[in-house]
Amino acid sequence: MSPMPPPKPTTEGRRDRQVFHEIGQIVRALEAQGPTPPEQLREVVGGRWWEEGRFDRALALAASDGLVHLTDDGSVVAT
């Protein structure tokens, strides 16, 4: 049996329960707000109060999982 391939750079490290909660907050906010610029989304979910780097990590994981994507104008939208 061959070893599993390494994770994508954006998904490195162990996912903790908190990051699943954070991803859920991001997706729910986008479903309620519609397309939202990343900095405004950070404010909507209170991401500036999260531990350093957690908002960006949760947003990157949500994107790598196909839950959100960037629009042409740079806004984030739930898929």
- Six-digit token pair at 49? 């109060």
Contact residues for 50 (Cβ-Cβ < 8 A; gap 6+): 22
User: Residue 57 belongs to a domain with what CATH number?
Assistant: 1.10.10.10
Is residue 3 domain-resident? no
What total number of domains does the chain contain? 1
Is residue 4 domain-resident? no
C-alpha distances out from residue 29 to 4, 10, 12, 21, 45, Å: 34, 22, 25, 12, 7
Give the pTM.
0.80
Closest C-alpha among 40, 25, 23 to residue 74: 40
What does pLDDT average to in each consecutive run of 10 residues of the chain (79 residues)?
55 77 98 97 97 96 96 95
Is residue 5 domain-resident? no
Domain that holds residue 53: 16-78
